[in-house]
Amino acid sequence: MTLTRTKLTIAWSLKASVSKFATQRVYAAIILLALLASACEVRAQHLPVARAESEFRELVPFIKGWAQKNRGDLAMFKHWVLPYGPLDLEVRNGTHDEANDLRNVYLGVAGAAFGIDPRPLADSFHCGLDCTAFRRNDIKDKLPRIEKLVSSFRQLGQVRVLASWGIDDDFRVNELFQIMGEAKVTRPSPVMGFVPSGAWEAVERAKYIGSLGTNPEAVQSVLAEMRSLSVAALVREDDQNVRVVRVGISDNESGLIFSNAQRSPYSEGEKLRDGREVTLIELLKPNVFFYETT
């Protein structure tokens, strides 16, 4: 299946598969939370991480607000659940298992609010060797341009995350989300480090970007090239490696790692604190690795 909206193309297959998302424990939590989402209520006993209950509950109004306006819009939903998009949850202060469970539950709640079942999207990401080969070949063909893109991204001062989910001029810079013409900053929640969180503040976009040691024109130039290349996100890791996220949903992700060292920054089977598990890591050229996660 190929979905195109503005310049971002998302490639998935409709072939059936089984992903880590389809575990009985996560499904049970999703069903419970989906029923509660319409009432804007989440209780601790329904969450796989009890200490996240209060902060998770604060996320539901954000989801509901957009879902009420765009219920049933599958095209929009597919874009918004891209990595680092509005319906993708970062969990900065949890263990691998906590982050994995909470991200998948968040996706389930968002799907319920929008009236969309996200399970086929997550399952279809892992549709066999053909899908992986397609994603690998697609990104390899664009590698010379992506190398220049990464170089430009590294020059953007303190910008750690730059994301574009392919709808008009919407984008993200660190904790600033530009959605339908409005620029707002979300503050990481104090306990779990949720981004987005329930706390939002309207800001002057240029002033916020300037505080990161760069300028809006430079950011927009990188975003334009990201859209042209169908790159969902650029992420500066703590070790200063750069992750180029081509496509993904929840903990399922595919892209490149530009490493500062010749050795791989990941190993297959490694469980990362943000909830992803590395399923594939391949050297494409010195310091550049193709990776996939679930």
pLDDT at residue number 155? 97
pLDDT of 8 higher than 60: no
pLDDT in tens, 240-267: 999 999 999 989 999 999 999 888 899 9
Whole-prediction pTM value? 0.86
Q: Where are the domains of the chain?
A: 2-123, 126-293
pLDDT in tens, 61-84: 999 999 989 999 999 999 999 999
What tokens does 154 get?
Answer: 């590294």
pLDDT of 42 higher than 70: no
More confident residue, 44 or 48: 48
What end-to-end distance do the CA atoms of the chain give, in Å? 20
- Integer Cα distance of 99 and 169 in angstroms: 29
Backbone angles phi, psi at 72, to 5 degrees: 85, 0
Backbone angles phi, psi at 152, to 5 degrees: -65, -40
| Helical axes 129-141 vs 143-154, angle rounded to 10° | 70
